[in-house]
């Protein structure tokens, strides 16, 4: 695959650079831009980013390796990040991970043969009250998972149905209102 940035991308990259007094701070946002475009930031993409920003390849590589959300190799079309950290752990996060390993026929860290799903075990995603949960493609959170709900999400994704952002309202102080939800 040939990796290159379009004219629009380059304009966007210029805008990103203008947010900082130096070029180096653009490294993270431009890696994001590249990953959104190519689906991953393998070594070739890292090289492209380095050349575009006129930074050493070793720098961009070092940054890409440090941050877990950058995919250093090609991933499945849908990357399922299942949280198993503290609150998800005590809420059954590992059961969800095992369930997905079984239904997808892969281990955490793997990708299905058809290239549709990658499965990862991840650390706390900041959804502790809505455990267990997973994040899809570094994007939406799917909360309150059960094996059944997990199956529905996977089936939906197979049919091209991408879950939507779920707004979880702050529960009201139970003594000041009869209703449960607010905002």
Partner 1 sequence: MSTPLDWKGYEPVLIPKISGLHQIDIYEKNGGYESLREVLLNKTKWPDAVSVVNEVKEANIRGRGGAGFNAGLKWSFMPPVDGGPRYLACNGDESEPGTFKDRKIFEYNPHLFIEGALIAAYAMSISTVYVYIRGEYRSFIQMMEKAVSDAYAKGYIGKNILGSGFSTEMVVHSGAGAYICGEETSLLESLEGKRGYPRVKPPFPAQRGLWGRPTTINNIETLANVPLVIKNGASWFKTIGAETHPGPVLYGISGHVNRPGVYELPSGMPILTLIQDVAGGMRNGKRIKAVIPGGSSTPVLRGDALEGVNMDADSLRQAGSMMGTAGMVIMDEDTDMVEVLWRISKFYHHESCGQCTPCREGTGWLEKILDKIMHGDGETRDLDLLLDVTTQMEGRTICALADAAAWPVRYTISRFREEFEARCRKSVYALA
DSSP string spanning 9-34? Answer: HHHHHHHHHTTSSSSGGGHHHHHHHH
C-alpha to C-alpha distances, 123 to 82, 151, 161, nearest whole angstrom: 8, 22, 26
Residues recorded for the chain: 183
Rounded least distance, CB 39 to partner 1, Å: 15
Q: Which stretch binds partner 1 (CB under 8 A): 42-50, 63-71, 97-105, 148-156?
A: 63-71
CA–CA separation, 72 and 93 (whole Å):
25
CB nearer to partner 1: give 4 or 68. Answer: 68
CB nearer to partner 1: give 10 or 90. Answer: 90
C-alpha to C-alpha distances, 64 to 19, 40, 42, 73, 134, nearest whole angstrom: 21, 10, 9, 11, 22
Out of 50, 97, 131, 153, the only residue in the binding site for partner 1 (CB under 8 A) is 131
At 111, is the secondary structure helix, strand, or coil? Answer: strand
**Mask for 18-57, x = binds partner 1 (CB under 8 A):** -xxxxxxxxxxx-xx-------------------------
Rounded least distance, CB 27 to partner 1, Å: 4
Out of 6, 7, 54, 173, the only residue in the binding site for partner 1 (CB under 8 A) is 173
* Cα dihedral across residues 131, 135, 141, 147: positive or negative: negative
**Mask for 139-168, x = binds partner 1 (CB under 8 A):** xxx-----------------------x-xx
CA–CA separation, 130 and 98 (whole Å):
19
Q: Contact positions toward partner 1, by CB under 8 A?
A: 19-29, 31-32, 59, 62-63, 66-70, 84-87, 89-91, 123-131, 135, 138-141, 165, 167-168, 170-176, 180, 182-183
């Amino acid at each position: 695959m040939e990796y290159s940035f379009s004219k629009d991308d380059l304009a966007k990259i210029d805008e990103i650079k203008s947010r900082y007094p130096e070029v180096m701070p653009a490294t993270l946002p431009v890696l994001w831009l590249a990953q959104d475009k190519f689906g991953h930031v393998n070594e070739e993409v890292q090289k492209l980013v380095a050349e575009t920003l006129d930074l050493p390849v070793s720098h961009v590589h070092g940054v890409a390796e440090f941050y877990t959300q950058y995919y250093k190799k090609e991933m499945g079309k849908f990357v399922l990040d299942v949280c198993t950290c503290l609150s998800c752990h005590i809420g059954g996060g590992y059961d969800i991970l095992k369930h997905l390993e079984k239904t997808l026929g892969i281990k955490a860290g793997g990708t299905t043969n058809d290239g549709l799903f990658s499965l990862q075990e991840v650390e706390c995603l900041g959804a502790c009250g809505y455990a267990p949960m997973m994040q899809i493609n570094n994007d939406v959170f799917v909360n309150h998972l059960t094996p059944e709900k997990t199956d529905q999400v996977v089936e939906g994704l197979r049919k091209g149905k991408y879950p939507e952002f779920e707004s979880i309202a702050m529960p009201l102080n139970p003594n000041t209102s009869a209703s449960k939800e607010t905002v």
